[in-house]
Amino acid sequence: MDHNMDVLLKNNNKKASPPPVTITRVAPLRKLYGLTLIASFVVIVATCVYTSGRFSGTMTPSEMQLPDHLPASHPEVLQALRSTFLLPPSKLPYNLSKDPDYLATSHADTWGIIHYHLSRLFSGERGGFFVEAGALDGQQLSNSLWLEQELGWTGLLVEPDPYSFLHLGHKHRKAWTSNACLSSDAFTRRSVHVALKPRPGYRNNYPWFMRGSSHELGVKLATKSAEEVETLQYYLNRGEESYMVTYCFPLHSYLLALNITKVDLLSLDTQGSEIEIIKSIPWEEVEVRVVVMEVADRTHYQSDLVEYMRGKGYFLVGRFMDYIFVREGDSAHTRLLSHKDWQLVVHV
């Protein structure tokens, strides 16, 4: 054992006596500097983590913290859409349901009438861009699936209901998808989404009918006829309701985020906010060729809506549960007029 090691051991064995401390008057101040330095560091790190999380795309829409009432083209809105709220078109093969019960109801309700119109308006037109809000699972009652499959279109599917959105993701649609809602004005906002789920054993083969009655809290469903309200109430009472906060973005924000200036088909089924969404569109900046929109009040002719659309240069070509408008002079309009049997299709 050499001398040095010996000294070392001796020192280690020594009972630790406090080292001599020189207390000066500067010490508390130094301590304060140190604390400030550490605090600043913590704040900087926390800010970086927060900001990168906010924009890194690792967040889910429900974790997002976005201020309300930002204008449609605000950079933070476009960033949030691109990083968190927009999922790109799938490159995988379609994974559509082949269940006979499901398929039997897949083209029910107004699907047939809408399909009739769309096939006449767009027959043979390839490569268009659609926006469908109220996309449900992307297959049952979808107004845009055949455009994608038959005519090679792509587009944007907006669906606020998380359960529906999960199923939409399984279908591998060749379109952008977004788990959010369309804002009823030109600003972002948060809204409460009421999700309806049928009780087990109740219309099991038609789950999306009930899901399709999911809506935003505050949307006025009372404009429907008393009979319809009663029917709706009947379904609502038999469904399980759950509530969640959802982000709503102006349609214009989506189009800016995706660099889209021309929408060939805009399909709105948002349980009561359709007219407000339509009125939020900056028509001089966005080209929309055809609009299919459900209207909450089916008993009265929507003269205000038709007037408004006329003022923007659109003709009403179909009216039932949904209203169908085509821009005057559009190739789809010309094609429609070339049909000898052309007339305003009204189903009441």
Give the residues lining the site for ligand NAG (CB under 6 A): 95, 167, 170, 258-259
How many angstroms separate the CA atoms of 131 and 265, rounded? Answer: 6
- Spatial distance between the Cα atoms of 52 and 61, rounded to a whole number of angstroms: 15
- When the beta carbons of 170 and 190 are compared against ligand NAG, the nearer one is 170
> Is residue 93 helix, strand or coil?
coil
Q: Which is nearer to ligand NAG, 258 or 321 (CB)?
A: 258
Residue 258 CB, shortest distance to ligand NAG, in Å, is: 5
Only one residue has tokens 């054993």, namely 201
Please say which residue, 58 or 95, places its beta carbon nearer to ligand NAG: 95
Structure tokens at 83: 């990083």
Q: Which is nearer to ligand NAG, 207 or 212 (CB)?
A: 207
In the bound complex, what is the minimum distance in angstroms from residue 40's beta carbon to ligand NAG? 34
Q: How far is the CB of 149 from ligand NAG (least distance, A)?
A: 17
Query: 63-68 — which CB contacts under 8 Å span 24+ positions?
Result: 64/247, 66/188, 66/247, 67/188, 68/187, 68/188, 68/189, 68/190
The two three-digit tokens of residue 16, written as one number: 């630790």
Q: Give the 3-state secondary structure of residue 125.
A: coil
- Give me the least distance between CB of 255 and ligand NAG, in Å please: 11
Burial class for 344, CB neighbours closer than 10 Å (0-12, 13-18, 19+): exposed
Give the shortest CB-92-to-ligand NAG separation in angstroms: 7
Rounded alpha-carbon distances, angstroms, from residue 118 to 67, 69, 93, 237: 38, 35, 25, 35
Q: Which is nearer to ligand NAG, 90 or 223 (CB)?
A: 90
Nearer to ligand NAG, 258 or 286 (CB): 258
Task: State how far the Cα of 144 lies from the Cα of 52, in Å rounded to an integer.
Answer: 35
Closest contact distance (angstroms) between CB of 162 and ligand NAG is 15
Query: Minimum distance from CB of 186 to ligand NAG (Å)?
Result: 21
Q: Smaller CB distance to ligand NAG: residue 168 or 296? A: 168
